[in-house]
Amino acid sequence: MKLSIIVPVFNEKNTVLQILERIEKTPYSKEIIVIDDFSTDGTREILRKLEVSRGIPAVRVLYHSVNQGKGAALRTGIAGATGDIVIIQDADLEYDPAEYGVLIQPINAGVADVVYGSRFLSGPHRVLFFWHSLGNKVLTLLSNMFTDLNLTDMETGYKAFKRDLFSKIEIEENRFGFEPEITAKVSRLRCRLYEVPISYFGRDYSEGKKITWKDGFAALYCILKYNLLRGR
């Protein structure tokens, strides 16, 4: 199995090289597709130097000319993927590439089409924001009510898919609404969906965390949009 690891990046100059080095060390046949979503903090310059030096040969960098959001970056990256399995990997060190084996095991075993890495099943996780955690659980509950799934972590940033699945799915959301959108569409396709426990090394806002309460309301809208308004 070849992995296509999609890394959306926006203003992550302090962590982008470290996460790419961690991905490179994983023992899999892979391509690493980095999408710079018009970073302004020096991330672009770091990525351009990496391209010139070929320090990580598996890396291919795509550049957005304007900032569009995580969903748009994923859409760009997935369109260029050639692997058998697509993994979404944030560039902020919150998710550990050493756990790819756990994430893709149900697909490799032939029992899953999609795998979500859940921060709430088990595994070490940094203790951070109560209201963020509660918000995640509420959004997951609402999503489950419409999709009739029993996910524990719909909003997880760690997801793996069979690549051919995306030929049946159009990603429409540009920002963090991707999570409830893709969950609704996976549910509608009756895909075999698994969850696995993962570690979570969360960061706070002083360390560059970007998602806010506004994104929570946007996710709520997307749950309604892609489940209720679009029908089943």
How confident is the model over 22-76, as pLDDT tens digits?
Answer: 999 999 999 999 999 999 999 999 999 999 999 999 999 999 999 999 999 999 9
Q: Which pLDDT score, from 0 to 100, does residue 93 have?
A: 92
Report pLDDT digits (tens) over 152-198: 999 999 999 999 998 889 999 998 799 999 999 999 999 999 999 99
Separation CA 22–CA 58 (nearest Å): 12
Of residues 14 and 167, more confidently modeled: 14
47: Cβ contacts below 8 Å, ≥ 6 apart: 9, 16, 34, 36, 61
Whole-number pLDDT of residue 123: 64
Q: Is the pLDDT of residue 206 over 60?
A: no
CATH 3.90.550.10 fits 2-229, yes or no: yes
Please state whether beta strands 193-197 and 114-118 pair in parallel, antiparallel, or not at all (unpaired): parallel
pLDDT confidence band for 16 (50 / 70 / 90): very high
Euclidean distance between CA atoms 197 and 125, whole angstroms: 11
- Helix ranges (DSSP H) in the chain: 16-24, 43-53, 70-79, 100-108, 130-147, 178-188, 213-223
Question: Cα-flanking dihedrals φ and ψ of residue 231, to 5°?
Answer: 75, -175
What does the pLDDT read at residue 14? 94
What was the pLDDT predicted at 203? Answer: 53
- Tell me, what's the pLDDT at 200? 87
Query: In the prediction, which pLDDT does 127 show?
Result: 61
Residue 121 is predicted with a pLDDT of 87
- Write down the pLDDT at residue 218: 85
Gyration radius (Cα) of the chain, Å: 17
**Phi and psi angles of residue 104, each rounded to the nearest 5 degrees, phi first:** -95, -5
Question: What is the predicted pLDDT for the residue at 215?
Answer: 74
Residue 209 pLDDT exceeds 90? no
Query: Global pTM?
Result: 0.90
- Which residues lie closer than 8 Å to 226 by C-beta, 6 or more apart? 180, 181, 184, 185
- Give the tens place of pLDDT for each residue, 88-139: 999 999 999 999 999 999 999 999 999 999 988 876 666 656 777 788 889 9
d(CA 193, CA 51): 36
pLDDT at 174: 92
- Which secondary structure element, helix H or strand E, spans residue 33, and what is its range? strand 29-36
Question: Above pLDDT 90, what percent of the chain?
Answer: 76
Q: Give me the residue spans of the domains in the chain.
A: 2-229
Identify whether the C-beta of residue 43 lies closer than 8 Å to the C-beta of residue 69.
Answer: no
- Tokens for 11, please give them: 């203003």
